[in-house]
A and B are shown apart, each in its own frame.
Chain A
């Protein structure tokens, strides 16, 4: 019997900092997100939440520090394959229908929409009747829902979502929170950047940023009120 290796956390931010020219945008910040855990990254506009998410997704390189996804450098193909990332302003192609997006992105990640119950997913998000429409005809909220569907229709270990609640209606928010719970229950992890205090209580943990610095990391119940 070999001793089990210490599991590598899905996300490990080690002294991550990002500068824009001479201006420090965020950091240095260190924290981890563990398997089966949902973490809310909280802070005001400009506190650095989106920057950290983009670094975890591998689409932005940190100026300092070390970002690991399952022990692999963020941005490496295997690291990118492990995270599914929904931007603040989701990017979708104007000339592809929702279904074509689902189909393309799931195949790109070696899967199929059917393997992720795409139709049921669309129904739960209230997009059941819109699968064959072009997202360019959608409102902001619908686009957000389409982007969520696309992000969930592929294999991943960690879901990164930037400000998911601002554009969503109540039903959409409920559906998303349920989906997050399911991901967590299946051992996946979720990191959500939000300034929405209302949704906080549904998360396991909160990391609070203020002006680029980490000011709190702990149970949601203990988050200091302003």
Chain B
């Protein structure tokens, strides 16, 4: 009985993984081969070039996606969570604090770059699919951009329903999509079975020898085949490593190879098919159904990056690289399922701008991949570090695995650098902005804590000093939210100074997030009682938990403290940041920090502290 339930659940999970995780990689056949041959490279559609590029594509899929991500990188999960940020949390201090800080900076930069390419994925995939309509009905040309924009708006509008629901709906479509890829490929390969020789890597090597520098540049386009690799890793927390691997070997990898080979077979017979080799694979009657299916598949492809962006954002908030943003847990059962409205609308806006600014998938392809290749280099470096320091791999083993991967990563990155003038600057710029926000928030928070810390006392010292000169106390419980559990919050001092009275029971409440995904309710609260009715209360939440302070206080029936609604008051400090010329950060960064701080989500709302019983006390902090 249990076994059946388990299998059913993992089948559903695998289907969900298919929909969301493989969307990006699965829709690259729409444009990747075309861009590698035609596009800006303008290579002759000759047998040597077609087979050579097919060989490059196959081996990229095998080395980058299969070997690097599925075999090596996915071993680096943080309690099931994947992605470059979760990976960075695994970096250990061994090897020196400075090296650690350097690696974390690299990871942050890699993360920020993901947002840059993340904006392009939906735009390029949806455009490429809608361009299929042009093959079937050339007169619709003028409508391509508006149709793509409409699809994107609809896609982002349903995000709040959560990936669980979306994934269940997407899974079956993707099964159809990958089956179609395989069928179309096999049907065409019957006419030109010789394409299968591209499995032999010698053709890839020969391609480089024949084409020299131009052959190297083509790597920038071949890379389009594997851009989804990093997103796949970021989505791991949603679906689990096992189901992602099963689906890859069982369906996705064979379908992709067959389809690329089919496109190659078509080009060998009819070089003019380079105009749109994917859609021209289909017999006339199938053009429309294929366009519809491709559009649905690209919508799903976009989902891979959107979901990844949500996960990364939540992790960044948890690791204190971003201010609190309003987040919504979309599934009670699955902790990884979140929706972040601000990120959602930001991505939509960026996608629409890209669609209208670039106009065609071909032009967008020139901008795509620059950022993610750099992220992939960083991922390899980090995994090397984790393999050596955490998994206890020997140095030769680490070198043997990571150096070849780094050579491949570096080759792709090098080829992509040439895309910068044609639009590659865009994801890099977004990445740079993201990186600036991450580091500014982090540094600002450190400065702020240091300033506040200097002004405060420990609770024990404060209680001792209070004993000598006791203030008036009045009935009830005063709860003060503070980030460090054993320090006296400035708000409490302010309240005492202005009102000269304190509640009979004073609770200093700190909410901490742990490095585990969830904390068991029984382990959530830690109470420490001091003299004179002072108490420290720590509530611990995992990074995938949704904090609900009201609920958790109501679980605490403690003889010493009551949180009865009508006698309990919550005090929150609202620090207003004033930018001064005190040493800290550069002034523009201090302004950025002040802006982020002002716009962070309301803590009472975020932690579910009873709003009607909350008093905000403002203070000015100079940084």
Interface residues of A (CB under 8 A from B): 58-59, 61, 75, 85, 87, 90-96, 100-101, 103-105, 107-108
CB<8 Å pairs between A and B, sample of 17 = A58-B475, A59-B566, A59-B567, A75-B475, A85-B566, A91-B566, A92-B565, A93-B554, A93-B613, A94-B550, A94-B612, A95-B610, A101-B554, A101-B565, A105-B564, A107-B557, A108-B557
Q: How far is the CA of A85 from the CA of B565 in the complex (A)?
A: 12
Q: What 14 additional pairs, Cβ within 8 angstroms, besides A59-B567, A95-B549?
A: A58-B475, A59-B475, A59-B566, A85-B566, A91-B613, A94-B608, A94-B611, A95-B550, A96-B551, A96-B554, A100-B551, A101-B565, A103-B554, A108-B562
Residues of A within 8 A of B611 (CB): 94
| B132 interface hit (Cβ, 8 Å) | no
Residues of A within 8 A of B566 (CB): 59, 85, 87, 90-91
Contact check, A95 vs B562: say whether CB atoms are below 8 A apart. Answer: no
Q: How far is the CA of A2 from the CA of B518 in the complex (A)?
A: 62
- Please give the distance in Å from A152's CB to the nearest CB on chain B: 15
Question: In the complex, what residue of chain B is closest to A74 when comparing beta carbons?
Answer: B475
Q: How far is the CA of A93 from the CA of B565 in the complex (A)?
A: 6
Residues of A within 8 A of B554 (CB): 93, 96, 100-101, 103-104
Q: How far is the CA of A193 from the CA of B285 in the complex (A)?
A: 82
Residues of B within 8 A of A94 (CB): 550, 608, 610-612
Question: In the complex, what residue of chain B is closest to A85 when comparing beta carbons?
Answer: B566
B548-604 contacts to A (CB < 8 Å): 548-551, 554-555, 557, 562-567
Q: How far is the CA of A85 from the CA of B562 in the complex (A)?
A: 15
Q: How far is the CA of A151 from the CA of B50 in the complex (A)?
A: 80
Contact check, A95 vs B476: say whether CB atoms are below 8 A apart. Answer: no
Q: How far is the CA of A75 from the CA of B610 in the complex (A)?
A: 24
Residues of A within 8 A of B549 (CB): 95
Q: How far is the CA of A95 from the CA of B609 in the complex (A)?
A: 8
Q: How far is the CA of A85 from the CA of B475 in the complex (A)?
A: 14
Question: In the complex, what residue of chain A is closest to B550 when comparing beta carbons?
Answer: A95
Interface residues of B (CB under 8 A from A): 474-476, 548-551, 554-555, 557, 562-567, 608, 610-613
Contact check, A93 vs B475: say whether CB atoms are below 8 A apart. Answer: no
Question: In the complex, what residue of chain A is closest to B566 when comparing beta carbons?
Answer: A91
Residues of A within 8 A of B567 (CB): 59
Q: How far is the CA of A129 from the CA of B562 in the complex (A)?
A: 28
Q: How far is the CA of A199 from the CA of B403 in the complex (A)?
A: 87
Residues of A within 8 A of B608 (CB): 94-95
Q: How far is the CA of A146 from the CA of B613 in the complex (A)?
A: 18
- Please give the distance in Å from B99's CB to the nearest CB on chain A: 44
Query: Contacts A59-B567, A105-B564 given: A93-B557 contact, CB under 8 Å?
Result: no
Question: In the complex, what residue of chain A is closest to B610 when comparing beta carbons?
Answer: A93
Q: How far is the CA of A158 from the CA of B608 in the complex (A)?
A: 33
Residues of B within 8 A of A108 (CB): 557, 562, 564
Q: How far is the CA of A108 from the CA of B557 in the complex (A)?
A: 6
Main secondary structure of the interface of B (DSSP, over half): mixed
Residues of A within 8 A of B557 (CB): 104, 107-108
Residues of A within 8 A of B548 (CB): 95
Residues of A within 8 A of B564 (CB): 105, 108
Question: In the complex, what residue of chain B is closest to A134 when comparing beta carbons?
Answer: B550
- Please give the distance in Å from B57's CB to the nearest CB on chain A: 53
- Please give the distance in Å from A91's CB to the nearest CB on chain B: 4
Residues of B within 8 A of A93 (CB): 550, 554, 565, 610, 613
Q: How far is the CA of A96 from the CA of B554 in the complex (A)?
A: 8
- Please give the distance in Å from B189's CB to the nearest CB on chain A: 60
Q: How far is the CA of A100 from the CA of B476 in the complex (A)?
A: 21
Residues of B within 8 A of A103 (CB): 554
- Please give the distance in Å from B169's CB to the nearest CB on chain A: 29
Residues of A within 8 A of B475 (CB): 58-59, 75
Q: How far is the CA of A148 from the CA of B47 in the complex (A)?
A: 85
Q: How far is the CA of A117 from the CA of B174 in the complex (A)?
A: 54
Q: How far is the CA of A75 from the CA of B474 in the complex (A)?
A: 10
Q: How far is the CA of A108 from the CA of B568 in the complex (A)?
A: 14
- Please give the distance in Å from A15's CB to the nearest CB on chain B: 21
Residues of B within 8 A of A95 (CB): 548-551, 608, 610
Residues of A within 8 A of B610 (CB): 93-95
Query: Contacts A91-B565, A94-B611, A95-B608 given: A59-B550 contact, CB under 8 Å?
Result: no
- Please give the distance in Å from A41's CB to the nearest CB on chain B: 19
Residues of A within 8 A of B563 (CB): 104
Closest 6 CB pairs of A and B: A95-B550, A104-B554, A91-B566, A95-B608, A91-B565, A93-B610
Q: How far is the CA of A92 from the CA of B554 in the complex (A)?
A: 12
Q: How far is the CA of A104 from the CA of B564 in the complex (A)?
A: 8
Residues of B within 8 A of A85 (CB): 566
Residues of A within 8 A of B551 (CB): 95-96, 100
Question: In the complex, what residue of chain B is closest to A87 when comparing beta carbons?
Answer: B566
Looking at A61, A75, A96, A104, which has the most chain B CB atoms within 10 Å of its CB?
Answer: A104
Query: Contacts A94-B550, A96-B551, A108-B557 given: A59-B613 contact, CB under 8 Å?
Result: no
- Please give the distance in Å from B537's CB to the nearest CB on chain A: 16
Query: Contacts A59-B566, A87-B566 given: A96-B550 contact, CB under 8 Å?
Result: yes
Residues of B within 8 A of A96 (CB): 550-551, 554
- Please give the distance in Å from B264's CB to the nearest CB on chain A: 59
- Please give the distance in Å from A79's CB to the nearest CB on chain B: 11
* Cβ 8 A contact of A91, one of B474, B550, B555, B612: B612
Q: How far is the CA of A92 from the CA of B566 in the complex (A)?
A: 7
- Please give the distance in Å from A110's CB to the nearest CB on chain B: 9
- Please give the distance in Å from A103's CB to the nearest CB on chain B: 7
Contact check, A59 vs B476: say whether CB atoms are below 8 A apart. Answer: yes
Question: In the complex, what residue of chain B is closest to A150 when comparing beta carbons?
Answer: B565
Question: In the complex, what residue of chain A is closest to B565 when comparing beta carbons?
Answer: A91
- Please give the distance in Å from A192's CB to the nearest CB on chain B: 17
Looking at B563, B564, B565, which has the most chain A CB atoms within 10 Å of its CB?
Answer: B565
- Please give the distance in Å from B500's CB to the nearest CB on chain A: 15
Question: In the complex, what residue of chain B is closest to A104 when comparing beta carbons?
Answer: B554
Q: How far is the CA of A100 from the CA of B474 in the complex (A)?
A: 27
Q: How far is the CA of A26 from the CA of B613 in the complex (A)?
A: 27
Q: How far is the CA of A184 from the CA of B476 in the complex (A)?
A: 29
Q: How far is the CA of A96 from the CA of B557 in the complex (A)?
A: 15
Looking at B554, B555, B612, which has the most chain A CB atoms within 10 Å of its CB?
Answer: B554
Looking at A75, A101, A105, which has the most chain B CB atoms within 10 Å of its CB?
Answer: A105
Q: How far is the CA of A107 from the CA of B553 in the complex (A)?
A: 13
Residues of B within 8 A of A91 (CB): 565-566, 612-613
Q: How far is the CA of A87 from the CA of B476 in the complex (A)?
A: 15
Q: How far is the CA of A104 from the CA of B549 in the complex (A)?
A: 14
Question: In the complex, what residue of chain A is closest to B611 when comparing beta carbons?
Answer: A94
Q: How far is the CA of A101 from the CA of B554 in the complex (A)?
A: 8
